[in-house]
Structure 1
Amino acid sequence: MPRFAWVASAATVTTAAWCAWLMAGWGGPDVVSAADDLGFVAVSGFATSCAGYTARRALDRQRLAWILITIGLFGWTVGSAVWAYYEWWLGTAPFPSIADAGYLMFPVFVCAGLLVLPVGASRYTYTRLVLDGVIVAGSLFVIAWFAVVRQMFENGGATTFEVGLSLAYPLTDLVVVTVALLVLARARPGNRAPLVLLTAGVVLMALADCGWAYLTSHDDYRTISVVDLGWALGLLLIGVGALLSSHLPRSHVDGASAPTAAALWVPYVPLAVAMVIGVANVVWVPELAPALVAFVLLVSAVVFRQVIVVGENRRLLANAEAQAMHDPLTGLANRALFQDRLTHALLLHRRDKQPVAVLSLDLDDFKLVNDGLGHPTGDILLTSVAERIVGAARSSDTIARLGGDEFAVLLEGDAEQSIQVAQRIAAGFGDPFAIEGHHLPLRPSAGLAIAAPEDPELSAEALMERADVAMYSAKRARAREVRVFSAEMQRSEGRLASRTPVGGAATLQMLGELRSAIDNDELILMYQPKFDLRDESIVGVEALLRWPHPSRGLLSPDEFLALVREHGLIRSVTELVVTQALDQAALWRDRGFTVPIAVNLFAPSLADLTMSDRIVRALDERGLACETLTVEVTEDLLLDNVDRTRAVIETLRGHGVRVALDDFGSGYSTLAYLRDLPIDEIKLDRDFVSAVRGDRRAGVIVRTVIALAHELGMTTVAEGIENAETVALLREYGCRYVQGYFYSEPLSAAAMLELLTSGRTARDAAIPS
């Protein structure tokens, strides 16, 4: 049992025993009177201490609210001490007295604290809460006037000040009770338990004050009575409510929310009762009857109109709140709502050691869809992506669109289950999206970060940053699986971040440098040789783009191609690559080496109907045979119109240019492309190939793909070869061509020429494993 529960239980048992003692009258009148006075000082001191403890632990406006409530309770404690001094030491209890000043501090400061308390209502409703309290208090005063107060004046025997002071207690209590009920009605579910106890305590105090005022007016109040029990239990409930509030997670969140129906109706119920009682007591006056009926109808119409207006405003506020916290396109949570829920989840994580995970998703090459098919199609695709994520996630998970093509999922609970859900979400992109007649294979880069129980102080910003680091790791590796954050990943990405800038200003600077590098022909090509496994001869090279950045070193394509795609530089880079590659092939030919050369093209380039003519013209200008060039296209980037892509490929092949499907096995529509597109060569993805050593199923698949390629009249090239064992298996499977670091890393043009001149074979070039 938590410590606060032990304290609350002990206080409850002690208060119950004290009340039983008083009601039983053990020890005689003097002992009971002393126990009554000292007991009230003790129970009010307990409530004051609990409120002060909660104020010390609270944050922001919640701290201010509990400070004000503590001051009100302290005033009651001082009043109880003064009353005990009068009654126990002086033997008399005058009325009015200094004790009344302390007692009246309670409703004033508690009301102020309730108005400040952040429980879900908008911070701009203070005046409205006070006015609601005045309406209810005024209505109840009308009821009390005809029921009790008028009789007090008619009985006489007390001064106007004494009567006014007697009425001050129930009237101020009525305002406090009304405000407490309205605040409770506006509170979020997670904040209601302490407020229920606080409101119940205030109600008991108000009832006790009303009973005291009634008994005092009839000169019938005795020190030990039910009224005393009401005060005692009320103070106890307030103290326990304060303790419970201190146990809840601390939060800085203070958002606005639509008031509940109960909060709207509370002020009008006592108003209606007061009108009925008032009419019943004065309607018998003949000269007032017509005007009174008209007045009641007029007030009723005004109230009814106000209820309608308030209802309309409540619906508008609810709609505005939903729009402010949700993405208008997909209906998912937006960044603000996601951040709020993540912050709350981490507070629970800190208290209960419950794991919390964040999945960061970024759609790869989404800009190709917007550029190729238009933004309306992109919006439809984003909506479909949101539906798939929702379908794969659990109902308890929070899914958000953070902006553009960025999504995030908040996963609470067991870490292993969170990993499984994340993998299920990523796997949900396995089938292409059918959008307006297009079948678009789209996949996300996915990174998962988990806040473990042993890391209780992890902030929301830090957890999001870790998820992004894992996501960028997956993006750079073009990994299909979910990458889970690790410390090593942080170090690796940190080193890479020192070379690749992130953020608005840094990205703009890098974009400017990239444009300058393209204009000044500063991007270069490296060449990785391709070997024939039959005689181990060099049968061609693949041209690989690099950027020798003046301050960040030699950058690989993964570090800058996103800028190329997103800022309309595809055509410029494509022309640069084709020009440099064909110039180099012409130089090698002039040195006596006819070396087939392969270049990677962006998929949108193959949907450009003028591309084939430009490539053929470039070959003719250099006197190169079209068979010298192989055009490679990554299969997971074929997002545009397949018919146009087929037309361009057929034109190229008609002239003799070969076409290869690169990174085979990394996308989702591979077999469909083999069926629909005229392909000469299949390049098996490095991840697809590397698994054959330790995974029998992977080996069967690779062998089957190689056999299928042979049946279709296509050649196969295995990429990323790093060891002799893989070479042996591929030779056994019937694969003909290979390339990778096991044989040769990408070489400069000069180094490639030296390799050609040396006449070395694959056996000579191989790096010992």
Structure 2
Amino acid sequence: MTPRRVARHDTHSEGQPLDQPRVSKEPSDRALLARVGVLLVGSLVVMAIAGSGRLDERTSSIVDNLAQFAAGLFGTLACWWSARGLSGVQRNWRLSMGVGTAGWTVGMSLWAWFQLVEEDPLPSPSIADLGFFVLPVMALLALLLLTGDSPRRAQIGARHVWVVSVLDALVVVGVFFMVAWGTSLGAVVAAGGPTPLAFSVALGYPVSDLVLVVMVVVLASTRRVDRRIRPQLLLLGLGLVSISFSDSIFAYLVANGAESMPHLANLGFVAGPAMIGLAATSGRSMHHSHPALGERPALVLPYALFAVAISLLAVRMITSADSVDPVLVGVSWAVGLLLMVRQALTVTENAALLGDITAAQAELAYRADHDPLTGLANRSLLYRNLTGAVAALRHGNPLTLLMIDLNGFKAINDRLGHATGDQLLAATADRLRAAVRPTDTVARLGGDEFVVLLGMLPADADAVAERIRADLVAPYPIDGILVTVGASVGVVHGDSGDPAVDPDTLMHAADHEMYAWKEAVAAHRGIRA
């Protein structure tokens, strides 16, 4: 007999279930990786054919542009199709990316027209750029939507979490800026562009891509996104990074007045939109769970990225005959200072966390030894203290044990309710604490039974016992009424000369004395105990 599988349905911030109750053939992790591999290899093969030189230039351009158009169309249709039947964040980010890839595909169509019909090998700036820039805007919206689906959203109220998150983002931005400046962005700014419009367009691509890549890295390396949608985020990030790669090459070529773009450099424009479509079609049922990255990668990431950037800067300083770029040096110093501030905050946060842990451990230890209703010692703590008192008794220290039981408590509990009974027990505990010294032990065994352990001479202990009897029979003002109970107190003094005395013996003896007192009172009143 096959066991039934019970699907778990968790809710997200929109109040809709992340686990859609629909039958879906969700690919396994291995199958998903296989799809990614096939997509990348296929894109590489197509672009390698286009740039192999075996085709004439026009045919190569047709193959190149058709591959980009097909990838953009697949990404658009996949995003819109996979949004069917979903709701909330899962639907909205797909629709947003569908609009972005649709704009990019329209721009690609116009670009192909300029190349193939107008015979402009590198048509920039052109109206096609308007379509291309729709993608980063809508991709930013999609990433923000995924961020809003974070299970940590309710925890971000703490100020240090916000500050550390901002510092992490600034560090990652600074590191990627250093990389972008050392590759394409610095060259674009240095070249200036043939016209101000061409310069602005060329600069817009690496800048917008830088923002998207930074967001993907920060989100993928921390716990700001639900762990079950991380595969979608990672595939989406791969797609955006692939497009950013080709965008950077395009911006560099435009800034330097190149007349055309190598076909192989367009690889990101084929693999990127297709990867976005793959991200949209994966994870619709969300039945399988992907483990979230722990806190350690999130802590190490800014330092690791900065170390890589500084290493690249050092290599450039050693190998380049030119003077060191002051922009790179300035940004590296700024990022280093940010990391120092972040480390100081982390140390402060860890110290506060250690204090919280210590307080939590103390609270757990207190709860393990104390009664939750009255705050008195429980049976475990009483026996430890009584064991120590018995050991001290053999060295001549006095010991007296009082066993206390409230008379008539059950009737009050039944007549006035358990809430009133609980208040009566708490008030009794307060009176017992007030009647003894802080060094004495007052414990609740359970129900209406209490024990007091006194370390004083018998005469003084007898006086305390009498005071307790008087205190406990006084009326208790509870919820506007006076509640009165009786109290039976059994008193046992430890005998230092008795070698058989132990905690259990004393407890039994005190219990016996308490019931003897109860029977004596009952007999005095002429009633049955």
Query: What TM-score bracket applies, with the shorter chain setting the length?
Result: 0.5 to 0.7
| Pair 1:438–1:310, CA change in 2 (3 A) | farther
104, 116, 119: which one pairs with 2:133? 104
**Offset at 1:181?**
2.0
| Pair 1:555–1:262, CA change in 2 (3 A) | closer
374, 388, 391: which one pairs with 1:437? 388
1:184 aligns with 220
1:565 aligns with 428
TM-score by length of 1: 0.41
1:205 aligns with 243
Say if 2:84 is the partner of 1:84: no
SS at match of 1:176: helix
Is the CA contact 2:205–2:247 (under 8 Å) kept in the aligned structure 1?
Answer: yes
Map Cα deviations across residues 659-687 of structure 1 (whole Å, 9 max, x no partner): xxxxxxxxxxx9834545793975999xx
Rounded to whole Å, the distance in 2 between the matches of 1:276 and 1:17 is 34
| Pair 1:296–1:101, CA change in 2 (3 A) | closer
1:170 aligns with 206
1:261 aligns with 300
1:42 aligns with 74
SS at match of 1:363: coil
**Offset at 1:219?**
0.7
2:407 aligns with 544
| Pair 1:188–1:543, CA change in 2 (3 A) | closer
* Larger fraction in strand: 1
**Offset at 1:328?**
1.0
| Pair 1:39–1:671, CA change in 2 (3 A) | farther
Is the CA contact 2:172–2:305 (under 8 Å) kept in the aligned structure 1?
Answer: no
Is the CA contact 1:110–1:176 (under 8 Å) kept in the aligned structure 2?
Answer: yes
Is the CA contact 1:82–1:99 (under 8 Å) kept in the aligned structure 2?
Answer: yes
Report the identity percentage. Answer: 14
Is the CA contact 1:177–1:199 (under 8 Å) kept in the aligned structure 2?
Answer: yes
Rounded to whole Å, the distance in 2 between the matches of 1:241 and 1:322 is 41
SS at match of 1:437: helix
132, 139, 146: which one pairs with 2:171? 132
Residue type at the aligned position of 2:129: D
Is the CA contact 1:44–1:73 (under 8 Å) kept in the aligned structure 2?
Answer: yes
Rounded to whole Å, the distance in 2 between the matches of 1:92 and 1:259 is 50
**Offset at 1:80?**
0.4
**Offset at 1:236?**
4.1
TM-score by length of 2: 0.56
Rounded to whole Å, the distance in 2 between the matches of 1:160 and 1:617 is 96
451, 464, 471: which one pairs with 1:603? 451
SS at match of 1:187: coil
1:231 aligns with 272
Rounded to whole Å, the distance in 2 between the matches of 1:558 and 1:311 is 54
Q: State how 1:547-696 maps to structure 2 within 5 Å.
A: 552-553=415-416, 559-568=422-431, 602-604=450-452, 610=460, 612=462, 633=490, 645-646=492-493, 672-673=502-503, 675-676=505-506, 679=509, 682=512
Is the CA contact 1:197–1:237 (under 8 Å) kept in the aligned structure 2?
Answer: yes
| Pair 1:240–1:314, CA change in 2 (3 A) | farther
Is the CA contact 2:220–2:233 (under 8 Å) kept in the aligned structure 1?
Answer: yes
| Pair 1:49–1:123, CA change in 2 (3 A) | farther
Is the CA contact 1:75–1:106 (under 8 Å) kept in the aligned structure 2?
Answer: yes
1:346 aligns with none
Rounded to whole Å, the distance in 1 between the matches of 2:100 and 2:236 is 17
**Offset at 1:134?**
4.3
| Pair 1:316–1:150, CA change in 2 (3 A) | closer
SS at match of 1:604: strand
Rounded to whole Å, the distance in 2 between the matches of 1:165 and 1:190 is 35
Rounded to whole Å, the distance in 2 between the matches of 1:181 and 1:601 is 62
Q: State how 1:168-567 maps to structure 2 within 5 Å.
A: 168-187=204-223, 191=227, 193-213=231-251, 217-222=258-263, 226-236=267-277, 238-239=279-280, 243=284, 260-267=299-306, 269-270=308-309, 273-274=312-313, 277=316, 283=322, 306-324=338-356, 326=357, 328=359, 330=361, 363=371, 367-369=375-377, 432-433=383-384, 437-438=388-389, 544-546=407-409, 552-553=415-416, 559-567=422-430
Rounded to whole Å, the distance in 1 between the matches of 2:113 and 2:417 is 90
Structure 1 runs not aligned, ≥5 long: 335-358, 370-404, 406-425, 441-541, 573-599, 620-629, 634-643, 651-669, 686-714, 716-736, 738-746, 757-769
Of structures 1 and 2, the one scoring higher in RCO (CA 8 A, sep 6+) is 2
Q: State how 1:697-716 maps to structure 2 within 5 Å.
A: none
SS at match of 2:221: helix
RMSD: 6.2
Aligned length: 422
**Offset at 1:177?**
1.6
| Pair 1:129–1:362, CA change in 2 (3 A) | same
Q: State how 1:732-751 maps to structure 2 within 5 Å.
A: none
1:5 aligns with 26
Is the CA contact 1:198–1:242 (under 8 Å) kept in the aligned structure 2?
Answer: no
**Offset at 1:262?**
1.8
Rounded to whole Å, the distance in 2 between the matches of 1:239 and 1:617 is 77
Rounded to whole Å, the distance in 2 between the matches of 1:297 and 1:32 is 39
Higher mean Cα deviation, 552-561 or 179-188? 552-561
1:352 aligns with none
**Offset at 1:70?**
5.0
Is the CA contact 2:79–2:97 (under 8 Å) kept in the aligned structure 1?
Answer: no
Is the CA contact 1:433–1:439 (under 8 Å) kept in the aligned structure 2?
Answer: no
SS at match of 2:431: coil
**Offset at 1:204?**
1.8
1:142 aligns with 181
